[in-house]
Amino acid sequence: MSDSFGFAASNSQLGPYQVSKSGQATVPEREVTADAATGQTSNVSAANISVDMEARSQIDGSANHFRANTAVSNQFLFLFDLTSPAIVHLTRSVGNIAVNDTPNGSSSADAQLLFTGPGLHFERENCLFCGTLTFDEQFLLNPGTYTFSALTDGNIVSGNPFYGPAFSSASLSVNADFTTVPETVPEPRWVAIIPALLAAICCAVARRRYVGATDRT
């Protein structure tokens, strides 16, 4: 059996965006069904980036002298220019799970977040069987060009004979809040000089008064 699906989309506008796709293949005489699905929801504004995405696949049934494979991938990519310093607060999680008990079979799932730019390299990738990995990080960003990318994918290779089910799932959720750092206004030099001038004037007046008192004696 064979079945495939593909979908690619680009969005140059800020605001919410959502896309999903699924596919299924069945061989009734072998009582085997394979399906895969992926979905992504994002919302991008000048002060926030939020992304939720998943990729999952599954093979059910049992058959001799038979193989079934699935592969599904989901990607998010956002490039932007930062014109002034800002603090970014990154939160949420990445997670995956993969199960395949068939002889000579394998399942894999991967969830990865990568955020790079001038002086910044932030990466979160969950290891298999590690469950869900959460993160809560803050970074000071300098002006420049930044790349914000996320990936979830899953693959299943069945063994022969195949005795299902085999399953793979990867999920990623990230929220990035950006706060502009106020520019520091340098203090004028004359503000710091005034106390020194006042002190010098006071010393001069005190000296003149002392000299006058000496002359009268």
Question: What is the Cβ-side half-sphere exposure of residue 168, based on CA atoms within 13 angstroms?
Answer: 28
d(CA 188, CA 200): 20
Same domain for 217 and 146, yes or no, is no
Residue 10 lies in a domain: no
pLDDT of residue 10: 65
List C-alpha distances in Å: 52 to 4, 17, 21, 100, 105.
23, 11, 15, 26, 29
Three-state SS at 182: coil
Same domain for 108 and 170, yes or no, is yes
Residue 1 lies in a domain: no
Please list the ranges in the chain whose pLDDT falls under 50: 190-194, 196-217
Same domain for 107 and 75, yes or no, is yes
Q: How many domains does the chain have?
A: 2
Tokens 């010393």 appear where?
203
Please enumerate in sequence order all residues whose Cβ is within 8 A of that of 150, keeping only pairs 6 or more positions apart, or say none.
51, 53, 75, 76, 112, 113, 114, 172, 174
Residue 6 lies in a domain: no
Q: Can the peptide bond before residue 143 be classed as cis, meaning omega within 30 degrees of 0?
A: no
Same domain for 168 and 109, yes or no, is yes
Same domain for 137 and 198, yes or no, is no
List C-alpha distances in Å: 77 to 114, 161, 195.
10, 40, 56
What is the phi-psi region of residue 48: left when phi exceeds 0, alpha when psi lies from -120 to 50, beta otherwise?
beta
pLDDT of residue 6: 56
> With contact defined as beta carbons under 8 Å apart, do 117 and 141 qualify?
yes
pLDDT of residue 44: 94
Same domain for 98 and 128, yes or no, is yes
Residue 3 lies in a domain: no
pLDDT of residue 22: 84
d(CA 211, CA 217): 10
pLDDT of residue 184: 67
Same domain for 53 and 31, yes or no, is yes
The token pair that represents 4 in the structure block:
């495939």
Q: Domain range for residue 192?
A: 188-217
Task: Please provide the average confidence, as pLDDT, over all residues in the chain.
Answer: 80
The token pair that represents 124 in the structure block:
């979160």
